[in-house]
Amino acid sequence: MTDTTLLELTGVSKGFVMHLRGGASLPVLREVSFRVHAGECVVLNGPSGIGKSCILKMIFGNYRADCGRILVRQGRRWRDVVTASPREVLHLRQDVVGYVSQFLRTIPRVGALDLVAQSARDNGIEAEVARERAADVLARLAIPERLWPLPPATFSGGEQQRINIARGLVARHPLLLLDEPTASLDERNRAAVVEFLRHRKRSGAALVGIFHDEEVKRQVGDRSIEVSRFRA
């Protein structure tokens, strides 16, 4: 691996046990192998149900791979997510790996600025710095400052999605996993998100993303991987 490699998957396979069907095995992916470098975005391509989100969840540690290696650079060390303990996975999420999905998880009556800042705090960032970063991200994602004190549950769908993205990006993780982050956004707000993702790439972050919007793929992605070739 080169000095710029932040993530490497080698021979990763995954299947599920169907407990409601007598324990039948359902293989999903086999021999998934690729690398991601600092400052690039790798796009996972393929039809719905092929296993794209499954790959992201294995990297994040939500799903345990059946075999293979998922190596993530943590400072000067490499961690294998496949064999890591739950505590080690939590440390990776705090220090290295961020995850952005299309689903907003809010806390009732908590304002947008505090909600985003809390995400930074959860990743070990001091309170004052967390609020500064939260304000910066909200501004970059074109969330009007008048909305910052208000709970996102009162926002439009597009505004809520940008709050969700802000929560995933505020900690400035070196490795970002993006599961359709621009879904449901209009053209203007997509452009704000795309520019911020490009900014994170210029800052040296590595991105692995699922984008169904071809224009977003073109603007953010550097290369694509066809997940169908890994179908079990």
pLDDT of residue 66: 96
- One-letter amino acid at 19 equals H
- Name every residue whose Cβ is closer than 8 Å to that of residue 210 and which is 6 or more positions away in sequence: 43, 44, 52, 53, 56, 178, 179, 180
pLDDT of residue 21: 64
pLDDT of residue 20: 66
Number of domains in the chain: 1
| DSSP for residue 56 | H
pLDDT one-digit tens code per residue, 157-193: 888 888 888 998 898 999 999 999 888 788 888 998 9
- Please check whether residue 142 lies inside any domain of the structure: yes
pLDDT of residue 203: 94
- Please check whether residue 48 lies inside any domain of the structure: yes
- Please check whether residue 175 lies inside any domain of the structure: yes
Q: Taking a C-beta distance cutoff of 8 angstroms, is the pair 35, 7 a contact?
A: yes
Q: How far is CA 215 from CA 93, 150, 194, 205, in A?
A: 29, 32, 10, 21
- Please check whether residue 26 lies inside any domain of the structure: no
- Please check whether residue 158 lies inside any domain of the structure: yes
Residue 175's domain comprises 40-64+86-230
The mean predicted confidence, pLDDT, of the chain is 91
CATH number at residue 182: 3.40.50.300
pLDDT of residue 152: 86
Q: pTM for the complete prediction?
A: 0.90
- Name every residue whose Cβ is closer than 8 Å to that of residue 113 and which is 6 or more positions away in sequence: 131, 134, 135, 138, 148, 149
pLDDT of residue 103: 63
pLDDT one-digit tens code per residue, 122-165: 888 999 999 999 999 999 988 999 999 999 888 888 888 888 88
Q: Taking a C-beta distance cutoff of 8 angstroms, is the pair 29, 12 a contact?
A: yes
Q: Taking a C-beta distance cutoff of 8 angstroms, is the pair 36, 175 a contact?
A: yes
pLDDT one-digit tens code per residue, 49-91: 999 999 999 999 999 999 999 999 998 899 999 999 999 999 9
* Residue among 219, 218, 179 nearest 196 (CA): 219
- Please check whether residue 33 lies inside any domain of the structure: no
- Please check whether residue 148 lies inside any domain of the structure: yes
- Name every residue whose Cβ is closer than 8 Å to that of residue 162 and which is 6 or more positions away in sequence: 141, 142, 143, 185, 189, 192, 193
Q: 65 is written with which tokens?
A: 């791979």
Please say if the pLDDT value at position 19 is more than 70.
Answer: no
Instruction: Specify the 3-state DSSP secondary structure of 192.
Output: helix
pLDDT of residue 25: 79
pLDDT range class, residue 104, cuts 50, 70, 90: low
- Please check whether residue 22 lies inside any domain of the structure: no
Give me the torsion for CA of 27, 72, 170, 209, rounded to 10°: -40
